[in-house]
Amino acid sequence: MHDKNVAELSAGLKNGDFSSEELTRVYLNRIESLDKDLNSFISVTAEQALAAARIADQQYKSGTAGPLTGIPIAQKDIFCIQGVRTSCGSKMLANFIAPYDATVVTRLNEAGMVMLGKTNMDEFAMGSSNENSFYGAVKNPWDLLAVPGGSSGGSASAVAAQLAPVATGTDTGGSIRQPASLCGITGLKPTYGRVSRYGMIAFASSLDQGGPMARSAEDAAMLLNAMAGFDHHDSTSVDREVPDYTGNLDQSIEGLRIGIPAEFFAEGLDDGVASVIQAALQEYEKMGASLVDISLPNSGLSIPTYYVVAMAECSSNLSRFDGVRFGHRCEDPVDLEDLYKRSRGEGFGAEVKRRIMIGTYALSAGYYDAYYLKAQQLRHLISDDYKKAFEQVDVIMGPTAPSVAFDIGEKSDDPVSMYLSDIYTIAVNLAGLPGMSIPAGFVDNRPVGLQIIGNYFDESRLLNIAHQFQCETNWHKQVPPGYE
């Protein structure tokens, strides 16, 4: 059962080929036997999952089940779930039991999905390798010596190893797309405001966006149908009708204009990755699409711009974790200042501390205009580049990451090199655009992802374009050896 896609699982449940409880036990057993090596889950909610599965089976018997009823899912440990530990991969929240559900969780529950557990992640979503978790590094199922990407590396690893058919992720600067690329799965970052951020623990509020992680575009479309939509709890949520994302999957892409940015194929891109991407683009030409050379002249500014904006916002958002109201509290503080210093010093990991310090500096008196304000101005220039590009083309394509998955520990002592692994994804978040990564091939037996970037609220088109590619290729059906 675990090798079926969501549509096949849904049909099997509807036809009575197996029950949701049987299906859920299959995945729970796989997690128990296989996740010891991967470390993709922080918490496994077996009892809760089986209870939800039994309810789903009753819905099938009563004829009230929907397309996602009874389908297991893994939730990134950044989404609050009532009564379940929500740690954000940090010691700071290691004992935090959420008192309410995030809107994404509520909607997936209402769709009848069965939560298997909470997936591992870089602490407070800060990282590109999933080595920054308080619970230890996650391994890439394609090569246990390699990172799975981050910060949604636990979700990517779990889906790739077939420990869950689908999972949720969040993307602040590429944290759905980059791990999707490195683990050989499909990941979609929706338009900013398309999916509610309520109950999603904030890293950088103007950049964070939740989205689906799955093995195929079809599965991602089914999941996004449940996740997307306006939420009055979230002031950044967009009040816009949600289409049926599965409705246009089979539409022809004849005449599609694909923009190829020169900046995505410049120095820094691995030759093997470039060859895989070029082959994928040729596949699109065979399907009737045309390739158009474009330029995104300010894309080189995206890394410094992002790491000023994101770190400034993380400094502000994480100031609430002070050892007073909730979160880790040091033992026997001598006074309030000692309480603050030791609680935060003990609760946060090295990468989180680094980003808080940089963000606080950028927001400090005398430096706000020079750094944060300037970064916001550059953000507009980067966004304008995409607006001009979409006057010429329908979508933009290129590599998701400059290389395949690197080895665990390879970049741990070089944060700048680590930050550069998001060089092709960051600008999409700065502009608030939708983007996705789909499997396109391998280099040295490690997956390569093709990134597809669309105009605002063009998720349906992206999913259609991705699905058409997956109808012609089998990259998304490849499974890591040992996890078949």
Q: What is the pLDDT of residues 323-349, one digit of tens each?
A: 898 889 999 999 999 999 999 999 999
User: How confident is residue 446, by pLDDT bands cut at 50, 70 and 90?
Assistant: very high
398 forms bridges with which residues in the sheet? 451
Q: How far is Cα 321 from Cα 103, in angstroms, rounded to an integer?
A: 22
pLDDT reported for residue 412:
83
User: How confident is residue 414, by pLDDT bands cut at 50, 70 and 90?
Assistant: confident
Q: Give the pair of three-digit tokens for residue 34.
A: 């296989």
Neighbours of 247 (CB within 10 A): 13
Does pLDDT of 404 surpass 90? yes
Does pLDDT of 217 surpass 90? yes
Structural domains in the chain?
A: 6-255+436-477 (3.90.1300.10)
pTM for this model (two decimals): 0.96
Does pLDDT of 129 surpass 90? yes
Per-chain mean pLDDT for the chain: 96
Q: Could you tell me if 186 and 436 are in contact, meaning their C-beta atoms sit under 8 angstroms apart? A: yes
User: How confident is residue 148, by pLDDT bands cut at 50, 70 and 90?
Assistant: very high
Whether 91 sits among the annotated catalytic residues: the reply is: no
Does pLDDT of 417 surpass 90? no
Q: What does the angle CA 313 – CA 419 – CA 162 come to, to the nearest 5 degrees?
A: 95
Q: Higher model confidence: residue 323 or residue 435? A: 435
Q: Higher model confidence: residue 419 or residue 46? A: 46
Q: Spot the catalytic one: 20, 133, 151, 181.
A: 151
Q: How far is Cα 284 from Cα 254, in angstroms, rounded to an integer?
A: 9
Whether 129 sits among the annotated catalytic residues: the reply is: no
Q: How far is Cα 74 from Cα 94, in angstroms, rounded to an integer?
A: 19
Closest CA to 437 of 452, 447, 421: 452
Does pLDDT of 354 surpass 90? yes
At 28, is the secondary structure helix, strand, or coil?
A: helix
pLDDT reported for residue 391:
97
Q: Spot the catalytic one: 19, 76, 133, 152.
A: 76
Q: How far is Cα 223 from Cα 242, in angstroms, rounded to an integer?
A: 13
Whether 151 sits among the annotated catalytic residues: the reply is: yes
Output Rg (C-alpha) for the chain, integer angstroms.
21
In the chain, pLDDT over 70 holds for what percent of residues? 100
Q: Spot the catalytic one: 20, 87, 133, 175.
A: 175
pLDDT in tens, 69-111: 999 999 999 999 999 999 999 999 999 999 999 999 999 999 9
Note the Cα 37 to chain centre separation in Å.
22
